[in-house]
Amino acid sequence: MNTTPVRPVQTIILALFVIGLIALALGGYLTPLSRLVLNPVVSAQTWLSVRFQALQNAIAAPQDLARLRQRNSEMEVEVSRMQTEIIVLKQQISETRVLSALVDFARVQPENRYLAATVIGRDPSPFLEYVIINRGSDDGLRRGMPVVTQQGLVGRIAAVTADAARVQLITDPASNINVKLEPSRAQAVIRGEVSGEISLAMIPQSAPVEIGDLILTSGLGGNYPTNILIGQITGVRRRETDLFQNASVQPVVDFNQLEIVLIITNFRPIDISPFVPTPSAP
């Protein structure tokens, strides 16, 4: 009976003490005190934690190292795989660009039928300018068909097998192509040279030739279709004593970078050799 009234008083005092402590803590008055108490605890905790971490690492390190090495080698394999993929994709992008340009070229020349082919090799002789392509008679190719790129004339097919063909480039020393100049419309002949370049010969002395004039196939001789771009004049050599003018030419096609070419399959060269007079002919 005597103890019952004391408890509420103790509870109230305790509650007031707790509320007071909370109020002091919220007011920031207990911070120095808590710092005083917590600092040694935190220091001890840090010291112990660092040692424990070091001990744990020392025990677990060999396992981690092996795992990391394995992971590292896996990542290296992955990186090299992705690098290969990037190279393949870049190559595909490059091929797509070339093909897209070739398709555009074919669209603007609807009168011709084209067949695309990849350049797979070059003639082993340094004296000749020929390339080998991966299409042959099985694909409908015939000797004499003109070969172009989206830039301009490349050459013509010189020999055909079932699966491949040999293309004589216009830079070959044996190549002679009848051309016309724009805008003067003068007739001339493009010749390949041993240096792998082309030059313009047989330009009439009276023809007005300027640097920058365009050179197009004339169609004379029946070996090439008309109006295929070949290049641009970069220099003119004119001497009064000569019968003809000569000119140096910058071809529009980069013959060192030939990858994909188009063959004009609906063009049939005309053989005019029976009409060419020979010394033995009557």
Partner 1 sequence: MAIWIAIPILGTLLILQTVVASQVTLIHGTTDLIMIAVIAWSLQKRVQTAWQWGIIGGFMVGIVSALSFVVPLISYLIVVLLANRLRQRVWHVPIFAMFVTTFLGTLISHAIAVISLRFLGTALPLQEVVFLITLPSLILNLLLAAPAYFLFADLAKWVYPEELRV
Q: Interface with partner 1 by CB under 8 A: which range of 81-89, 191-199, 215-223, 260-268? A: 191-199
* 222 interacts with partner 1 by CB under 8 A: no
Q: Compute the distance between CA of residue 173 and CA of residue 127 in angstroms, rounded to an integer.
A: 8
Q: Is residue 168 within 8 Å of 158, Cβ to Cβ?
A: yes
Tell me how far apart the alpha carbons of residues 237 and 215 are, in angstroms, rounded to a whole number: 16
CA 73 to each of CA 66, 84, 87, 94: distance values in angstroms, whole numbers, following the listed order = 11, 16, 21, 31
Query: Of 30, 106, 113, 123, which one interacts with partner 1 (CB under 8 A)?
Result: 123
Q: Which stretch binds partner 1 (CB under 8 A): 86-94, 120-128, 148-156, 235-243?
A: 120-128
Structure tokens at 177: 């192509």
Q: How far apart are CA 64 and CA 70, in angstroms?
A: 10
Selected binder of partner 1 within 140, 196, 219, 222 (CB under 8 A): 196
Among 42, 60, 99, 194, binds partner 1 (CB under 8 A): 194
Is residue 166 near partner 1 by the rule CB under 8 A? yes
Phi-psi label, residue 144: left if phi above 0, alpha if psi -120 to 50, beta otherwise: left
Contact between residue 185 and residue 220 where contact means Cβ atoms under 8 Å apart: no
Q: Does 241 bind partner 1 (CB under 8 A)?
A: no
Q: Which residue from 38, 104, 67, 26 is spatially nearest to 262, judged by alpha carbons?
A: 104
Rounded Cα distance, 251 and 168, in Å: 15
The residue within the footprint of partner 1, chosen from 132, 189, 202, 229 (CB under 8 A), is: 132
Closest contact distance (angstroms) between CB of 206 and partner 1 is 28
From the list 130, 224, 255, 267, which residue makes contact with partner 1 (rule: CB under 8 A)?
130
Q: Pick out residues in 247-276 that bind partner 1 (CB under 8 A).
A: 256
Tell the smallest beta-carbon distance from residue 80 to partner 1 (Å). 24
Q: What's the closest the beta carbon of residue 194 comes to partner 1, in angstroms?
A: 5
- Residue 125 interacts with partner 1 (CB under 8 A)? yes
How far is Cα 202 from Cα 250, in angstroms, rounded to an integer? 17
Question: Residues near 148 by Cβ (< 8 Å), separated by ≥ 6?
Answer: 105, 154, 228, 261, 262, 264
Which tokens hold the place of 159? 């020999």
Binding mask 142-161 for partner 1 (x = CB under 8 A): ----------------xx--
Determine if 277 is a binding residue for partner 1 (CB under 8 A). Answer: no
What tokens does 11 get?
Answer: 């509870």
Query: Does the footprint of partner 1 cover residue 120 (CB under 8 A)?
Result: yes
Complex with partner 1: residue 10 or 195, whichever CB lies closer: 195
Residue number, 167 or 188, with CB nearest to partner 1: 167
Q: Shortest approach of partner 1 to residue 132 CB, angstroms? A: 7
Binding residues for partner 1 (CB under 8 A): 120-128, 130, 132, 158-159, 166, 168, 173-174, 193-196, 256
